[in-house]
Amino acid sequence: MKDNQAKYPQLRFKGFTDPWEQCKLNEITNHRGGTAIEKYFEKDGQYKVISIGSYGLDGKYVDQHIRAISNKVTDGRVVHAGELTMVLNDKTANGTIIGRSLLIEQDNKYVINQRTEIIAPKENFDSEFAFTILNGSFREKVKRIIQGGTQIYVNYPAVADLSLELPNIEEQQKIGAFFQELDATITLHQRKLAKLKELKQGYLQKLFPKNGSKFPQLRFAGFADAWEQRKLGEIAIRVRGNDGRMNLPTLTISAGNGWMDQRDRFSQNIAGKEQKNYTLLRQGELSYNHGNSKLAQFGAVFELESYNEALVPRVYHSFSVTAGAQPKFIEQMFATHRPDRELRKLVSSGARMDGLLNINYDDFMGIKVWLPSVAEQQAIAGLLVKLDNTIALHQRKLEKLQELKKGYLQKMFC
């Protein structure tokens, strides 16, 4: 080990005061390289295969359901409990995967494919600590030695020659265990959030009719009447123009997050001179952003709730609803993607240069929607809003935990 300059982290566990020492990765680990094992892939093979697609962004193994048989070639590349694997290339030039590491906790369950390296920590390098530092500050160093163009890679000898700072083994174990517990808490919250989102999707599918039916699969007690089919334009009133006030919040629609201030989404107000033509939207009114995205291929509709008034892009199709419809119900109806079938028919030539679908206001108002009584609309919307609020609460908790981890990573490592 080399100690050219004494280094101390900002935050430490009680009882540890010694400086951290600098060393190279190859001084504290052994390694074994991968090779092409595709010809040994079999559906019922005993080993789970670790390849480029196995590295999740959360540091977890992604099971691609690829298995390999046991033989001389694969047995020599089996990963043992307490060892780590590192991916040495990436599918794109973005570098989202390259240099990521997995910590293997089960013996003789996994085998590596080519372009992945097995890293075996020596006795002075704790595995859990190694997992945290290799996926943290060390990975940033790995990304600085990337080679290639559209498909980037690193050579492991160059990786092994990179330096990192280490405390003594006891402090490593404390830090490693701390981050393992924090990661477990984050994973638990991620699972809770995923289940809540899945629950909402289930309700969306069951609370609204499908396949031309006039009756949904799931209903609140006391509601039995058939739903009525209407054109959207029969229950909507167009909203456009503004009254000249330019000091109102300037918003945009995100398919995943709903209404967002442009400064929060784009770090600035992007309206520019076009703001004078924006639409004044009031609380309870809705807009249809007819831009396609991964989450909303045919656009998204959201009610304005958190603001009394706001300015929104005039290219949105903005509208209010009549007394026979509830705005939150209309928003949730579009979240089911039931209207997508009709919207697909309206798209004449895909996305325009500005990313918007060629769906004009009149055609949009011509799509057919199914409506129950106002009371049933309110009941459905009320349930889904409660779910949305619970999802948002868990999302905020998860984000706080992720920020907490980020802060600890900055303060507990040199």
Mean pLDDT of the chain: 94
Q: What is the pLDDT of residue 199?
A: 98
Q: Write the pLDDT tens digit of every residue in 364-399.
A: 999 999 999 999 999 999 999 999 999 999 999 999
How large is the angle between the packed helices 374-412 and 327-335, nearest 10 degrees?
60
Give me 191's structure tokens. 């699972």
CA distances from 36 to 49, 114, 413 (A): 11, 5, 36
Q: Write the pLDDT tens digit of every residue in 124-134.
A: 999 999 999 99
Q: What is the pLDDT of residue 93?
A: 85
Does residue 175 belong to any structural domain of this protein? no
Percentage of the chain exceeding pLDDT 70 = 97
Q: What is the pLDDT of residue 354?
A: 57
Q: Write the pLDDT tens digit of every residue in 295-308.
A: 899 999 999 999 99
Range 253-258 average pLDDT: 92
How far is residue 339's CA from residue 362's CA, in Å, rounded to a whole number? 15
How large is the angle between the packed helices 127-134 and 169-207, nearest 10 degrees?
60
Do 243 and 367 lie in one domain? The reply is: yes
Q: What is the pLDDT of residue 65?
A: 96
Instruction: Tell me the whole-structure pTM to 2 decimals.
Output: 0.85
pLDDT at 188 over 70: yes
- Counting the structural domains of the chain, the total is 2
Do 262 and 341 lie in one domain? The reply is: yes
Q: Which domain holds residue 338?
A: 228-371
Does residue 28 belong to any structural domain of this protein? yes
Instruction: Kindly give, in sequence order, each residue whose CB lies less than 8 Å from that of residue 99, ignoring residues fewer than 6 positions away.
Output: 86, 87, 88, 139, 142, 143, 154, 159
Q: How confident is the model at residue 292 (pLDDT cuts 50, 70, 90)?
A: confident
336, 356, 371 - which closes a domain = 371
**Between 347 and 128, the higher pLDDT residue:** 128
131, 148, 166 - which closes a domain = 166
How far is residue 331's CA from residue 334's CA, in Å, rounded to a whole number? 5
Does residue 350 belong to any structural domain of this protein? yes
Does residue 318 belong to any structural domain of this protein? yes
Q: What is the pLDDT of residue 348?
A: 66
Instruction: Kindly give, in sequence order, each residue whose CB lies less than 8 Å from that of residue 211, ignoring residues fewer than 6 positions away.
Output: none
Q: What is the pLDDT of residue 218?
A: 97
The CATH number of whichever domain residue 127 belongs to comes to: 3.90.220.20
Does residue 3 belong to any structural domain of this protein? no
pLDDT at 64 over 70: yes
Range 271-282 average pLDDT: 93
pLDDT at 137 over 60: yes
Does residue 196 belong to any structural domain of this protein? no
Range 224-232 average pLDDT: 96
Do 144 and 252 lie in one domain? The reply is: no
User: Are 113 and 34 a contacting pair, CB within 8 Å?
Assistant: yes
